[in-house]
């Protein structure tokens, strides 16, 4: 008999879930159905405190009325308009508002729809920049082990995550990597920037010697690597990278998809860490995640080199149908207004000492081998069960969720990044619940 394809709305089969153990999930579904402020509610009504700002993105908390209303209003006025050879006012306004809080000198904004697209866009801008200046031999891109720049071929190749690339074989050519800076042996249980490891930036000189400076277009790093387990840069490391890039005419790209918009207690990580890149990528907190949007900011010098250095016509052969989408632009303007009015970076800064103490109070619990923290982020690293990497953290995740707190895990590392509106009672609840779950997973 022919099978008839009857839609079954409550069926979990059709949605092939991203970065998910689909087989496990579909037999043990955890469905989030509503969100407000610091809280989610599951489909069956259980309250879950958000310890991760969704996926490091809802910095202003969930369901912010100002953002919702801005999206509703814009949808009613104009749902979509192209930004190829046309424009609409709200996209220009969004970019100008964003430029106000970007690190000084970075005030040209190219819109994307995600962090992955921002990473690939930044790499393409770097290549186009050198080409426009007559240095088309600069095609090499340098990333770092344990870097995460999303899932496009550019970001995946320059990123340094085994699991993100081993399934797909060939990566981009002309890519090399710096070593990561994670060193528990020397830096365990660090509050703020770890003391040891600035010298790892000098490995860029080794890559320059190996490949030739005039073949390298750009170095892309996260100022603080989030997705691979909260790897905070050692004191002096980023400054050294900046110096070596300057010395050799290499562009420095910061991927601030996680560190942007107040997470480290400043507008961008660049500010907190005291180093300004040539290109900065962002997404997530740009719209408080209410509508997908990413962006790449560059200096005037990069914009001018490409725009004035190209023949008449389209200067950068790149863009997305939804670059500067009206609903995303509206969400971004409203988010940036909240960011300023509520001083979200200032709130993160004010809460940082309390959050840090609470995080480090887990030291001494079974299997906790490191805790590191900066701004409103912390990583808690557990020892793995023999032969079963990540299993312990998965147990901790499930117990926390069942006990009403959302955490995030990567391997056997727990990462916490609550919305920047978190109050002491939320911080207490997150760490009390986590403490119980770590003990239960011993
Ligand atoms: C630093 C960084 N870059 C890029 C990305 C990819 O962003 P998206 O998932 O929006 O493509 C992420 C996602 O977590 C990220 O943390």
Domain ranges of the chain: 22-60+343-440, 68-341
Name the CATH topology of 22-60+343-440.
Answer: 3.90.1150
Best mutation site among 57, 123, 227, 294 for ligand 1 pocket (most ligand atoms within 8 Å of CB): 227
Residue 163's pLDDT is 80
Please tell me the distance from the alpha carbon of residue 315 to that of residue 198, in angstroms, as a whole number.
38
Q: Ligand 1 center to residue 227 CA distance, Å? A: 8
Q: Ligand 1 center to residue 379 CA distance, Å? A: 17
In terms of Cβ atoms closer than 10 Å to its own Cβ (0-12, 13-18, 19+), residue 19 is exposed
Residue pLDDT, tens place only, 43-62: 999 999 999 999 999 999 99
> Which atom of ligand 1 lies at the shortest distance from residue 283's CA?
10
Alpha carbons within 13 angstroms on the beta-carbon side of residue 340 total: 10
Tell me which residues have their CB closer than 6 angstroms to ligand 1. Answer: 114-116, 119, 148-150, 222, 226-227, 255, 257-258, 283
For ligand 1, atom 1, name the residue with the nearest CA: 257
pTM confidence score: 0.97
CB-based contacts of 291, cutoff 8 Å, min separation 6 = 71, 325, 327, 328, 330, 331
Nearest to 355 by CA among 230, 198, 441: 230
The per-residue pLDDT of the chain, averaged, comes to: 96
Average pLDDT over residues 302-322: 96
Please tell me the distance from the alpha carbon of residue 52 to that of residue 149, in angstroms, as a whole number.
19
> Which atom of ligand 1 lies at the shortest distance from residue 222's CA?
1
Residue pLDDT, tens place only, 192-208: 999 999 999 999 999 99
The dihedral sign for the CA sequence 284, 285, 290, 293: negative
Best mutation site among 149, 228, 285 for ligand 1 pocket (most ligand atoms within 8 Å of CB): 149
> Which atom of ligand 1 lies at the shortest distance from residue 114's CA?
10
Best mutation site among 116, 122, 232 for ligand 1 pocket (most ligand atoms within 8 Å of CB): 116
Residue pLDDT, tens place only, 79-111: 999 999 999 999 999 999 999 999 999 999 999
Please tell me the distance from the alpha carbon of residue 352 to that of residue 161, in angstroms, as a whole number.
29
Pairing mode of beta strands 408-410, 32-36:
unpaired
Q: Ligand 1 center to residue 280 CA distance, Å? A: 13
> Which atom of ligand 1 lies at the shortest distance from residue 256's CA?
1
Residue 231's pLDDT is 98
* Residue 166 pLDDT class (50, 70, 90 cuts): confident
> Which atom of ligand 1 lies at the shortest distance from residue 117's CA?
11
pLDDT at position 123 over 70: yes
Alpha carbons within 13 angstroms on the beta-carbon side of residue 199 total: 2
Residue indicated by tokens 């300004």: 276
Residue 3's pLDDT is 53
Name the CATH topology of 68-341.
Answer: 3.40.640
Please tell me the distance from the alpha carbon of residue 142 to that of residue 211, in angstroms, as a whole number.
11
Q: Ligand 1 center to residue 212 CA distance, Å? A: 30
pLDDT at position 394 over 70: yes
pLDDT at position 122 over 70: yes
Residue 358's pLDDT is 98
Average pLDDT over residues 361-369: 98
Average pLDDT over residues 296-307: 98
- Residue 397 sits at the vertex; the CA angle it makes with 396 and 402, to the nearest 5 degrees, is 100
Residue 1's pLDDT is 43
For ligand 1, atom 7, name the residue with the nearest CA: 115
> Which atom of ligand 1 lies at the shortest distance from residue 255's CA?
1
- Percent of the chain predicted with pLDDT > 90: 94
In terms of Cβ atoms closer than 10 Å to its own Cβ (0-12, 13-18, 19+), residue 5 is exposed
* Residue 10 pLDDT class (50, 70, 90 cuts): confident
> Which atom of ligand 1 lies at the shortest distance from residue 116's CA?
11
Q: Ligand 1 center to residue 281 CA distance, Å? A: 10
Q: Ligand 1 center to residue 148 CA distance, Å? A: 7
Residue 2's pLDDT is 47
Residue indicated by tokens 């840090």: 356
pLDDT at position 5 over 80: no
Give one DSSP letter per residue of 175-242, joined into a string. EEEEPP---HHHHTT-BSS-SS-GGGGGHHHHHHHHH-GGGEEEEEE-SSB-TTT-BPPPTTHHHHHH
Nearest to 399 by CA among 422, 367, 433, 349: 433
pLDDT at position 9 over 80: no
Tally Cβ neighbours within 10 Å of residue 390. Answer: 16
Q: Ligand 1 center to residue 97 CA distance, Å? A: 22
CA distances (Å), 349 to each of 257, 265, 377, 422, in order? 19, 4, 11, 12
């Amino acid at each position: 008999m022919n099978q008839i394809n009857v839609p079954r709305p409550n069926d979990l089969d059709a949605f092939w879930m991203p970065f998910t153990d689909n087989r496990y999930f579909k037999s043990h579904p955890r469905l989030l159905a509503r969100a407000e402020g610091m809280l989610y509610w599951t489909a069956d009504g259980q309250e879950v405190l958000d310890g991760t700002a969704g996926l490091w993105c809802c910095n202003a908390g969930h369901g912010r009325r100002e953002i919702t209303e801005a999206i509703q209003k814009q949808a009613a006025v104009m749902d979509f308009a192209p930004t190829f050879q046309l424009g609409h006012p709200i996209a220009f306004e969004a970019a100008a508002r964003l430029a106000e809080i970007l690190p000084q000198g970075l005030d040209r904004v190219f819109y994307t729809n995600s962090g992955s697209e921002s990473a690939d866009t930044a790499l393409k801008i770097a290549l186009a920049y050198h080409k426009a200046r007559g240095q088309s031999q600069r095609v090499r891109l340098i990333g770092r082990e344990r870097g995460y720049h999303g899932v496009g071929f550019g970001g995946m190749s320059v990123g340094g995550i085994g699991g993100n690339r081993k399934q797909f074989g060939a990566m981009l050519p002309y890519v090399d990597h710096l070593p990561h800076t994670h060193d528990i042996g020397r830096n365990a249980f660090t509050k703020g920037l770890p003391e040891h490891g600035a010298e790892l930036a000098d490995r860029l000189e080794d890559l320059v010697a190996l490949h030739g400076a005039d073949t390298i277009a750009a170095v892309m790093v996260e100022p603080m690597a989030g997705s691979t387990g909260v790897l905070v840069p050692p004191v002096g490391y980023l400054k050294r990278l900046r110096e070596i890039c300057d010395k050799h005419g290499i562009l420095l790209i910061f991927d601030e998809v996680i560190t942007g918009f107040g997470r480290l207690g400043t507008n961008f990580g660049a500010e907190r860490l005291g180093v300004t890149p040539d290109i900065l990528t962002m997404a997530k907190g740009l719209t408080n995640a209410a509508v997908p949007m990413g962006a790449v900011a560059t200096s005037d010098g990069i914009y001018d080199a490409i725009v004035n250095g190209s023949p008449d016509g389209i200067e950068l052969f790149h863009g997305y149908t939804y670059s500067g989408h009206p609903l995303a632009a509206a969400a971004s303007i409203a988010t940036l207004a909240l960011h300023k009015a509520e001083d979200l970076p200032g709130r993160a800064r004010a809460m940082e000492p309390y959050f840090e103490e609470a995080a480090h109070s887990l030291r001494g619990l079974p299997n906790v081998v490191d805790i590191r923290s900066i701004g409103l982020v912390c990583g808690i690293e557990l020892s793995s069960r023999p032969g079963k990497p990540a299993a312990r953290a998965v147990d901790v995740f499930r117990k926390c969720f069942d006990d009403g707190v959302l955490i995030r895990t990567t391997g056997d590392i727990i990462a916490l990044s609550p919305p920047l509106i978190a109050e002491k009672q939320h911080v207490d609840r997150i760490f009390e619940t986590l403490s119980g779950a770590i003990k239960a997973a011993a």
